[in-house]
Amino acid sequence: MKKAPLQKVFTEIRRQTGYMFAYAEADLAKSKPVTLSISNTRITEALDMLFADQPYTYTIIERVVTLKLKTEKKIIQEPSSLSPLPIDVYGKVLNEEGDPVIGVTVQVKGTNNITVTNEEGVFTLKKVESDAILVLTAVNILRMEEGINNRRSIEFKVKGKTGKLDEVQVIAYGKTSQRYNTGNVTSVKADDIEKQPVQNPLLALQGRVPGLEVTQTTGVNGGGIKIRIQGQNSISYGLDPLIVVDGVPYPTQLQLNESVIENGSPLNYINPTDIESIDVLKDADATAIYGSRAANGAILITTKRGIIGKTKVNLNLQQGWGTVGRKVDMLNTRQYLDMRYEAYRNDGINWALPSVTADDLKLWDTTRYTDWQKELIGGTASYTNMGLSVSGGTSAMQYLIGATFNRTTTVYPGDFADKKGTLHFNIGSTSSNQRLRIQLSGSYMVDNNHLPKADLTSQALLLEPNAPTIFNPDGTLNWAINAAGSSTWANPLSYILYRDFDNKAKNLFSSATISYQLFRGLVIKSSLGYTNLQVDNYSPWPLAGGTPENQATGIRRSNLDRSTQSSWIIEPQINYVTDIGKSKIDLLVGSSIQQSENGVLSIEANGFSSDQLLKNLSAASTTRVTSSQSIYKYNALFGRFNYRWDNKYILNLNIRRDGSSRFGDKSKFHDFGSAGLAWIFSQENFIKRLVPFLSYGKLRCSYGTTGSDQIPDYSYLSQYLVSSSSTYLYYQNLIGLRSSGLSDPYLEWEETKKLQLGLELGFFRDRLLINATWARNRSSNQLLFYELPSTTGAVRITTNFPATVQNMGWELTLTSTNIQRKDFSWKSNLNITFPRNKLIAFPNLEKSSYSQSLVVGQPIDIQKQYRYSGVDTYTGTYVLANKDGNPASVVPFSESIDMSLFSRYYGGLQNAISFKDFQFDFLFQFVRQIGSSYYYNRAALPGRFTSGLSNQPVSILNRWQKPGDITSIAKFSATTSTGLGARANSVAGYTYDASYVRLKNLSIYWQMPISMIRKIKLQSFKIFFQAQNLLTFSKYSWLDPETKSNSLPPLRMLTTGINLGF
């Protein structure tokens, strides 16, 4: 270096050695330019040469070089009896997202009392005057000054410059940053999670994480979600990623029998406001250390913790409203009746004949009109969320205790609501010598979800517009009785008034981490966790809700189910970190011991004498009890070696040996591993010269194997079941068993090999960041059912097939700081993913039971569909096409085409704008995909009458009416003998564009200025407005392009609230 400023020399020394410098900025003005050339020199010798002609002395404590002026003399006055004594100050420095900031210089203004924050963002200053001012500086934060005001524990929230690359990322068994990570990890912080009024925390990830698809399957409270990381690896089993909460694995599936939400999500029982961050791990380098549990990726949820500072009370109050955001334009009564009359004319049928069933024309009021969408799903759901937390602590102990209550109603008529109460705590303790650390966290949630027996969305869409009134004049349900005394429709409110569903859940989650530093760099640690989820369901079937004919002959019934999922895990670990010259070594060795127990108890009670006795099982004439219980045991040994040289070259190696109780002795154990490499080429001198505007550049690659044991427990054993009540097998008056599967002691692990390449770039001091990843995952040795002949005595067996599924794709993320000024900032983030899935190998596929559903070279979700050639202009009927594309009256199914409903691409665009005390944030989510249309309801082809399912969208009015008409919609018909009939749900013409762009989230915040806050003696005051699913732009003509079904869509939510800090 020649005539370089001293601060530039400090930066270069820190880059090469990792040593940090603490000094007073005012003192640096007295420094002289430096001309120095040093190589392969000890740090003390280099510093002696550096300061030989400088007015400073220095000391080194734990890789921190503290500077002092040589000539500075300080006059110390004896304190008077009235002067306050100096105090020791403990503090923590956090960024705007609440993550610790490493390497911040903290100085007592006007003195040489200086220190630097450690990896937890914590610092300690001894003997500080109680009225002193602290100055915080670092290359990646804005300078900050704040008075101590006699506080011994202080938390600082600093504003970053452009330090996204150095934000903390949670990885398996540790932490890192995007800059030094060799894996493919995306993080979402609490600030983004809290902006969204969602009850399932993973819904907050929609549109924010490249490579991650989160699909809401229903808008009903407590409904399930579908989660896929970099596509679907398996044909059948084990499609969900590993979910880890504070280091403890968490279940992803919940079966609810007799429910409007048959497949719920256990994640509905985790409170989103308790979460500090969610990190999505995608490639083998990031997930291989988790072994078989993370074959489909991993999602790490970290809950909030206490922070150093005086006790702080935070109160959050939120109120909102939800509605169905989209309405389908259906036929009104006049249009519907004309359709029906025209259908009979086209068929040459006299609908007035007694032999013709046409209750909508003969018995129902043909002048009546009801907008069933308004009646059944047109209500307004109420959303109430209240949270209270207390946090604080010292350097020795930090704590956070919080409680939350949430109540959400439905859009259905009736009094239905999901009520949740949560208690969450997190306590951290550190010994005075900083060697012993204990972290405890836990939460307990009680949920009471009262829902109707069925989702009324299908009736809201398809009920005939002239269907009967819901109630008779006397207030009883109207069944529109015909001359034979039978009902002519299924009254939708029978599911509301009499057939409800109660879902009560109790969820306990707890974790503990204990660590002890034996000596510098060597830490022994053990993590322990326990989870218990209990769900009770009650579903009555009273006769009062049945049709008149059912009330005369039916049987009253009650169903009660209890599902329990409990798990414990112990993970002892040894971690050694050391620096040797320019090298940094991080070595981790550990083991996992886990046990999960799942149980289901179901009781079906029949023959009650009264509807009022349905909850009293002793009043039933017969009861049938079924139960199942399984235990899953898992253990592993794992290790990780991370090597970083000169902060430029990084090597990460993972290895794991897994053992699972789901396989027999022949293959109970399996080895997995990965290797990751990264080169931060922007640190090379020749790059700095050639591309001066490039502030950051990294190439990374990884390859590894993970496995899957995600199959039912005991699949390798012979299994037996009790026969159903209608087919009991008796032997000597004892109920017998039937075979449900044969043993396979050679059952093996499914294996996934992952290869990923990444390029990360930063321009203009990281104001523009680009992250591009190419990924290829291949899953082989697929675990599938093998169908057996009846002579074996069993239906099927689980075994390995030599099939290989490939998921390949591109992920691209652009993050930009468009404007950064004192009172105004604008930041953007765009991510997009291009996934491609296909079956690349399946020997002897044509001889297997999968020959009709899978095709080599095609995606694994294909649907066999006939080619569509349009509508015959002369007859008005649909015409199919053969394999050559020519119209044909008969087409064999072997000439069908393969249609995939997987997404072509998906992503999101987020913008965050702040102006003085206002924050404005909005997120657009977009998906390119194909969806199925309403024609999938074969029973309700245009013109045909099936009670409760016959209405049609107005688009069918563009149908064929006379010879010569050119249209894509066939003539109306009241039968299935014309048109496509029973093949209507397998024609390519009935799938079309279901792509959409959705304004997923909008949030507006106003933060009261500090000067005003102090006057009302608060620590913080914030008013906010949030909107979820606000607008949707799509060509999809049905209710919702995300669910693509007749289920309730995700609701449009509008909420407002206030946040107070005391």
Locate tokens 């010994």: which residue? 431
Beta partners for residue 569, in sequence order: 529, 594
Report the pLDDT value the prediction gives residue 81, as an integer from 0 to 100.
46
Give the 3-state secondary structure of 791-829: HHCCCEEEEEECCEEEEEEEEEEEEEEEEECCCEEEEEE
Report the pLDDT value the prediction gives residue 739, as an integer from 0 to 100.
76
Check whether 283 has a pLDDT greater than 60: yes
Beta carbons within 8 Å of 348's beta carbon, 6+ residues apart: none
Structure tokens at 369: 């009109």
Q: What is the pLDDT of residues 564-582, one digit of tens each?
A: 999 999 999 999 999 888 8
Locate tokens 């043993």: which residue? 743
Cβ neighbours around 204 below 10 Å, total: 25
Report the pLDDT value the prediction gives residue 985, as an integer from 0 to 100.
47
Check whether 834 has a pLDDT greater than 90: yes
What whole-number distance in Å separates Cα of residue 368 and Cα of residue 633? 62
pLDDT class for 94, splitting at 50, 70, 90?
confident
- Angle between helical axes of 43-50 and 6-17 (0-180°, round to 10): 180
Q: Which of 559-568, 593-602, 862-871, 1007-1016 has the lowest mean pLDDT?
A: 862-871
Residue range 736-764: mean pLDDT, rounded = 88
Q: How far is CA 918 from the centre of its chain?
A: 28
Report the pLDDT value the prediction gives residue 724, as an integer from 0 to 100.
57
Q: What is the pLDDT of residues 156-168, one digit of tens each?
A: 888 776 467 777 7
**Residue among 164, 94, 138, 277 at smallest CA distance from 816:** 164
What whole-number distance in Å separates Cα of residue 990 and Cα of residue 653? 50
Asked if residue 657 lies in contact with residue 590, where contact means CB atoms within 8 angstroms, the answer is: no
Check whether 745 has a pLDDT greater than 50: yes
Say which residue, 909 or 745, is predicted with more confidence.
909
Map residue 343 onto helix, strand or coil.
helix
Mean pLDDT computed over every residue of the chain: 87
Check whether 852 has a pLDDT greater than 50: yes
What whole-number distance in Å separates Cα of residue 411 and Cα of residue 1049? 11
Helices then strands, each counted (H, E), the chain: 13, 56
Residue range 92-97: mean pLDDT, rounded = 80
Report the pLDDT value the prediction gives residue 279, as an integer from 0 to 100.
92
Locate tokens 């504070």: which residue? 246
Check whether 1055 has a pLDDT greater than 90: yes
Check whether 941 has a pLDDT greater than 80: no
Cβ neighbours around 472 below 10 Å, total: 12
Structure tokens at 1061: 């800090």
Beta carbons within 8 Å of 874's beta carbon, 6+ residues apart: 963, 964
Q: Where are the alpha helices (DSSP H) in 117-252?
A: 190-193
Residue range 40-44: mean pLDDT, rounded = 69
Q: What is the pLDDT of residues 885-901, one digit of tens each?
A: 788 777 777 777 888 88
Q: What is the pLDDT of residues 460-517, one digit of tens each?
A: 999 999 999 999 999 889 999 998 888 999 999 988 888 888 889 999 999 999 999 9
Query: Tell me, what amino acid is at 1038?
Result: W
Q: What is the pLDDT of residues 167-214, one digit of tens each?
A: 777 787 888 888 889 989 999 998 899 999 998 999 999 999 999 999
**Residue among 607, 602, 603, 604 at smallest CA distance from 621:** 607
Instruction: Report the first-to-last Cα separation within the chain, whole angstroms.
Output: 52
Check whether 76 has a pLDDT greater than 50: no
Structure tokens at 118: 């450690």
Structure tokens at 101: 């900031």
Say which residue, 806 or 34, is predicted with more confidence.
806
Check whether 35 has a pLDDT greater than 90: no
Percent of the chain with pLDDT over 90: 51
Asked if residue 278 lies in contact with residue 298, where contact means CB atoms within 8 angstroms, the answer is: no
What whole-number distance in Å separates Cα of residue 744 and Cα of residue 641? 37
Beta carbons within 8 Å of 952's beta carbon, 6+ residues apart: 330, 331, 336, 339, 934, 940, 942
Locate tokens 């100055």: which residue? 135
Asked if residue 939 lies in contact with residue 925, where contact means CB atoms within 8 angstroms, the answer is: no
What whole-number distance in Å separates Cα of residue 942 and Cα of residue 961? 13
Give the 3-state secondary structure percentages of the chain, helix then strand then coil, rounded to 5.
Answer: 15, 45, 40
Check whether 790 has a pLDDT greater than 90: no
Q: What is the pLDDT of residues 294-347, one digit of tens each?
A: 889 999 999 998 877 788 999 999 999 999 999 999 999 999 999 999 999 999
What whole-number distance in Å separates Cα of residue 902 and Cα of residue 455? 26
Report the pLDDT value the prediction gives residue 71, as an integer from 0 to 100.
58
Q: Which CATH class is domain 1-72?
A: alpha beta
What whole-number distance in Å separates Cα of residue 234 and Cα of residue 232? 6
Q: Where are the alpha helices (DSSP H) in 832-938?
A: none
Locate tokens 């606000």: which residue? 1030
Query: What DSSP string runs through 925-944?
Result: EEEE-EEE-GGG-GGG-TT-
Report the pLDDT value the prediction gives residue 299, as an integer from 0 to 100.
93
pLDDT class for 676, splitting at 50, 70, 90?
very high
Show the beta-strand stretches assigned E in 394-519: 397-409, 417-430, 436-452, 500-519
pLDDT class for 788, splitting at 50, 70, 90?
confident
Check whether 95 has a pLDDT greater than 90: no
Residue range 419-446: mean pLDDT, rounded = 92
What is the model's pTM?
Answer: 0.83
Which DSSP letter does residue 97 get? T
